[in-house]
Amino acid sequence: MERDEIFGFRPNIRTIRPPSSLCIRCRGRLMLCGRRTCPLLVRVLPLLDQVEKLSSLRSLEGSSPPGLFVGRIGYPRVLMGPLAVGDRGDVGFMDSPEDWYGLNYRQIAELRVRLVRGIKPLDVKSARDPPEYLLRIHDMLLSRRSSSLELEFSRPPRATVLLVDEAPPFGPSGPIESMRALPGSSDRSAEKVYYDHDMRSEKAVIYLYERGFRISEIQRMFGAGMLGVKKDRKLVPTRWSITAIDDMISRSLIDEIKGYPTISEYRVYVESHLGNKFVIVLAPFRWSFEWMEAWYPGTTWNVSGSRPEVIGDHEGYGGRTTYAEEIGGCYYAARLAIAEALRAERRQAAVIAFREIYEDALFPVGVWLVRESLRRTMNVRPSMFDDARTAFDHAFKILKLPRDLWLSNSHLARALMGQRVLS
Amino acid sequence: MSFRAISPTPEAWKALADALAELVEEAAFEITPEGLTLRAMDPSRVAMVNLSWNNLSFEEYACESSMTIAVRVDDLKKVMKRADRKDRIEVTLGQGNTIIFRFKDGYEREFSIPLVEVGETHRPLPKLAFNAQAKIVQKALRKIFEDIDTVSDHVTIKAQEGLLEFLGRSEIGQVQARLVDSSPDLLELAVKEPSEATYSLEYLVDFVKAVKPAEITVLEFSSRMPVKLTFPIDEHGSYIEFYLAPRVE
């Protein structure tokens, strides 16, 4: 167990997020965070009814999207297994955040809590020489279609709703006694990287990405320890694998865009989605990236605050060498969406992005929300400007948080506004 | 097309590759009987490198007719990483659009990298008049920029009669470095009028670190105008120049 999970703080970081795993473990029963009411439980309470129904099951006959859950608790011996629902047919969308844009919080949660997490303890290194159980999961993930799946539980699934920052909500979990799967036909590209025991995982990830695999598909294969040099393969907890994939792919895209000319004007992209507002400023300079978030009082990680809390991370042209501690997974999901758009345009730019999270952002649904929102935003024609001043004036008109608060927290904005060019 | 240039050490090539790597993806050399030149501007148009490497600087230099060739800077950097301090370097053009680097110290190694299509060349240099000029020991300048980099991503340079100051300030703290007339690291200081300007350290730190073989640096600037750093490569008049646009609050 990590220190922050016990004590409810991370050193050197403004603690506005109770570590979500603490909340999850406590689920409002123990009030480990010291609050009088649990911010998460209050919001998810109505869903628990639905989850209760699933918790009387001893077995489940249905399908897997395919989906995968790899837990973090107990690392390196983790609980992992397939996601399953009692429906037959194509249920792929249930574990494909790429299809969820437009759903509201309730719809997302309802969709997700119907999926039961089958779990079984496995050592992460078992991916090097997969036991039968893991091999059958691999078979399901080699297919890009839903698999028929039958699970027997050793005890009925526990009624839980697991909410974390990075991953989509997860529903009840039940320990697997036995599993029978009928996977769809394997995909050839997936097979190529899976059976290539010498291909480094980063290369395999990019290979799949460039062949049109979705982030969620790549992340599942990576999480199940199906990619990389055979002797290094490992199961990767879902929360980590999501960020790892966003990081790997965006780094590769950034390497590429650094070879392209800069955009020739200032641009401002705006998007509002599920209680979030995103304002992205692109400036005609070489690649750099800053992501800032303002959590308004009443939001998940600033429940009892009286004023918005601002956090941020950034990188220069040379990239990062450390994890984006303040923002976490969202930083990488956002960087991926923006780098993707620049790559499509064969341009580079300096990026300053602002995100405001208001009270109607009910609970964390995963970093896909940021990735998919930005993917759409970056496809819409932006407002264009000749100079930094008018571009930022426009951005701050749309944002709610006062300009000075944003600027005093930004590392790149002021620098960009003042940077002259050689004539 | 024939070209051959031999340097007794790889220092200048290494410095050039490292300096360019911070700025551009591709670099175009103009090769003439008089020597090698190169101009490259970063995509942001914030910084520019100007190389003048004349034929006297080489142990042997042969070029029959002028030409322009371009390489990927990454390729150049990878090759130069393999060079040892004592290697002699021979550069020639190879078959099938390649450039060949031969390292000789004991055994001989030969690296061949592809030439790429030449992009823009003959970029004019910024026309600038400078109000302050200082000749500084390059190692000291490097340390000053690195000192300031600990608290700030930009440096403010101030020059007045007898005093050259470097300042960095942020919410983390403040760093100040002073060179006065009597400082052994300040070899010359000429100030036409007091000047003050601010520059991005992201560019300066990397660049000054890359050209560490240079022993001295000539720093020239004016208020709110670009800075120019000149790094002599040797005593034969060859140099690398670096221009950087200012930051204005």
| pLDDT value of residue A414 | 85
Q: How is chain B split into domains, by residue range?
A: 3-116, 132-244
Tokens describing residue A207: 């290979």
Tell whether B149 is within 8 A of chain A (Cβ).
Answer: no
The Cα–Cα gap between B197 and B174 comes to 17
- Exposed (0-12), middle (13-18) or buried (19+): which is A31, by Cβ within 10 Å? exposed
Give me the phi and psi of A59, to 5 degrees please.
Answer: -150, 165
- Residues of chain B with pLDDT > 70, as a percent, come to 98
Q: Supply the CATH classification number for the domain A266-417.
A: 3.30.230
- For A3-17, B112-126, B185-199, which range has the lowest pLDDT when averaged over its residues? A3-17
| pLDDT value of residue A5 | 35
Q: Given a cut of 70, is residue B10 above it in pLDDT?
A: yes
Average pLDDT of chain B, as a whole number: 93
Tokens describing residue B102: 């031969």
pLDDT beneath 70: ranges in chain A: 1-52, 301-305
Tell whether B169 is within 8 A of chain A (Cβ).
Answer: no
Tell whether B196 is within 8 A of chain A (Cβ).
Answer: no
Tell whether A316 is within 8 A of chain B (Cβ).
Answer: yes
Q: Which of A348, A418, A422 sits opposite B48 (nearest CB)?
A: A422
- Top CATH class of B3-116 equals alpha beta
> Mind listing the pLDDT tens digit for each residue in B150-163?
999 999 999 999 99
Q: Given a cut of 50, is residue B232 above it in pLDDT?
A: yes
Q: How is chain A split into domains, by residue range?
A: 191-257, 266-417
What's the fold here for domain B132-244?
Proliferating Cell Nuclear Antigen (3.70.10)
Asked whether the beta carbons of residue A259 and residue B46 sit closer than 8 angstroms, the reply is no
Region B226-233: what's the mean pLDDT? 95
Asked whether the beta carbons of residue A415 and residue B154 sit closer than 8 angstroms, the reply is yes
CA–centroid distance for B176 within its chain: 25
Using an 8 Å CB-CB cutoff, list chain A residues near B249. Answer: 414, 418
Sign of torsion, CA B69 B74 B78 B83? positive
> Mind listing the pLDDT tens digit for each residue in A155-168?
988 777 777 778 88
Q: Which of A284, A318, A415 sits opposite B200 (nearest CB)?
A: A415
Asked whether the beta carbons of residue B245 and residue A422 sit closer than 8 angstroms, the reply is yes
| pLDDT value of residue A415 | 87
What's the first-to-final CA gap in chain A, in angstroms?
A: 56
Do the first three CATH levels of B3-116 and B132-244 match, i.e. the same topology?
A: yes
The Cα–Cα gap between A234 and A130 comes to 10
Asked whether the beta carbons of residue A284 and residue B154 sit closer than 8 angstroms, the reply is no
Tell whether B249 is within 8 A of chain A (Cβ).
Answer: yes
Tell whether A188 is within 8 A of chain B (Cβ).
Answer: no
Helix H or strand E segment including A249: helix A238-257
| pLDDT value of residue A27 | 47
The Cα–Cα gap between A209 and A217 comes to 9
Q: Given a cut of 90, is residue B239 above it in pLDDT?
A: yes
Asked whether the beta carbons of residue A422 and residue B200 sit closer than 8 angstroms, the reply is no
Whether the Cβ atoms of residue A316 and residue A288 lie closer than 8 Å to each other: yes
Instruction: Enumerate residues 226 to 245 of chain A having a beta carbon within 8 A of any beta carbon in chain B.
Output: none
Using an 8 Å CB-CB cutoff, list chain B residues near A423. Answer: 126
| pLDDT value of residue A16 | 39
Using an 8 Å CB-CB cutoff, list chain B residues near A414. Answer: 249
Integer CA distances (angstroms), A287 to A284, A378, B43, in order: 9, 16, 9
The CA distance from B246 to the nearest CA of chain A, in Å, is 6
The predicted complex's ipTM stands at 0.89
Angle (deg, nearest 10), helices A201-210 and A188-195: 170
Map tokens 């591709």 to a residue.
B26
Sign of torsion, CA A31 A35 A40 A44? positive
| pLDDT value of residue A303 | 65
Tokens describing residue A242: 């999501």
| pLDDT value of residue A11 | 27
Binned at pLDDT 50, 70 and 90, residue B1 comes out as low
Map tokens 């407002």 to a residue.
A383
| pLDDT value of residue A30 | 53
| pLDDT value of residue A31 | 56
